Amino acid sequence: MNLIYKITIIFLISLGFNKSFAADETQPYAVSRIPKVLLLNANAVIRNNQMIQTIENINQSKIKIKRTITLLNEKASDYRFSVFHTTNS
């Protein structure tokens, strides 16, 4: 075995023992934290929906949107997206 392969194996094994990578209740968006009533007949659950508008000056403003959606099944695939947009106008 070459050295890089051994180091990779050791790294991956150590991830399993690292509590910060474990799926536990300290994760704010863990599926187990969704109330059961929201899971009934749901395809997706919106966990966070935040919009912040900052007025820079009379001619310029910024809008930041942060949205966190948990997809529960394949029917929710339409909610799978990432948009990054910047304009100077």
Within the chain, which residues score under 50 in pLDDT?
19-21
**How high is the pLDDT of residue 10?**
63
Q: Given CA atoms 21, 24, 29, 31 in this order, what sign does their dihedral have?
A: positive
Contact between residue 10 and residue 49 where contact means Cβ atoms under 8 Å apart: no
**How high is the pLDDT of residue 27?**
80
Question: How far is residue 82's CA from residue 10's CA, in Å, rounded to a whole number?
Answer: 33
**How high is the pLDDT of residue 88?**
61
Q: Which tens digits make up the pLDDT trace of 31-42? A: 888 889 888 999
**How high is the pLDDT of residue 65?**
85
